[in-house]
Amino acid sequence: MKNQLNTYAKWVLIALSFVFFAGIANAQDDAKEKDLRPVKNTFESTWIIDNQSVMVPFKGTFQFDIQHRFGRLGNGYDDFWGLYANSNIRLGFGYVPIERLMIGFGLTKTNITWDINAKYAFLRQARIGGSPVSLTYYGNMAFDTRKQEIGQFANKTDRYSYFHQLILARKFSDIFSVQVAGSLSHFNAVEAYTKADNTVEGKWKNDHYAMAISLKYKVSDWINFMVDFNQPLTKHNLEEVDPYAGFAVGLELTSSSHQFQIFLGNYNFITPQRNNVFNQNQFLIDKEKGGILIGFNMTRLWSF
């Protein structure tokens, strides 16, 4: 069942990506004059729910993030649909020292995980002519700082994980933007199991590939409707640990210095490599498991 769901989701992602690239080709054909200035507000925030967006703020911008994921909805009134259940939160800080480059760090509640990250805009979509897309790289290194338990971390480096992502985006009109992204997650160490022949193997592979597609539709001057979909591509060594696709829908409220996103989704780890590799929540399918949760992202910007 899990493999069937991921296969269907993969074909949907391929179809949407085809539409995206077809739109780029048509846009190139239609360009008759040039205005090479970058387009504004392909996305209003550096986040699209659980993914980084293609955007990098202006030079001299300092950013503060609060990312919160409540508990799953499945318990109903017992924990008030997850609002009073165990939650996850990340506090993040970022700065843009030079144009197109953002660096930052954050702390996530799960496993008391610290991360350092960097984001660089290689291409920025031009208004008319020039580059038809924006292309950005995002990467992080995360460190699991929970207390050592017997046999948990054989080496200090077992605590490290990494995430790399290339993000391709296009603003098709003043109200509609799309981005697609490919990512690689890497964990230096994963939990092992003993096979029938007494050999030991990791339950998960150390490297995990995934794709994502995200959409923004502007409802009004300060409200956007957002969709974020993440499809795992890697099959791991045990089928029961293969991650489910991530899906979220929500609203974004924006101003010049604030962005607030509230949404329903099935990712709760926040750290992108952990979301991509270990997600066992389903969206709207496994009702007993209650895989849906409420989340929000809040971003505050200052310019210096």
CB atoms within 10 A of CB 256: 8
Q: What number of residues does the chain have? A: 304
The structural architecture, per CATH, of the domain 2-303 is: Beta Barrel (2.40)
- The DSSP symbol for 173 reads S
CA–CA gap between residue 173 and residue 40 (Å, rounded): 11
Strand partners of residue 249:
227, 264
Distance CA 220, CA 145 (A): 43
- Contacts (Cβ under 8 Å, ≥6 apart) of 254: 44, 45, 222, 223, 224, 260
In the block, residue with structure tokens 């969206």: 283
**Residues of the chain scoring pLDDT < 50:** none
CA distance 8 to 96: 39
Position 286 scores a pLDDT of 55
Cβ count within 10 A of residue 283 = 20
Tens of pLDDT, residue by residue over 117-130, are 999 999 999 999 89
| CB contact burial 140-149 (16+ within 10 A = b; e otherwise) | bbbebeeeee
Q: Determine the pLDDT at residue 15.
A: 54
- As beta bridge partners, residue 161 has 142, 187
pLDDT at site 208: 98
Beta strands of the chain (E only): which ranges? 35-38, 47-48, 51-52, 61-72, 88-98, 101-108, 113-123, 126-128, 134-144, 160-171, 176-187, 192-194, 200-202, 207-218, 223-232, 246-254, 258-265, 293-303
pLDDT at position 277 is 98
- Select from 234, 301, 244, 298 the least CA-distant residue to 269: 244
Are 282 and 293 a contacting pair, CB within 8 Å? no
Question: Domain coordinates of the chain in residue numbers?
Answer: 2-303
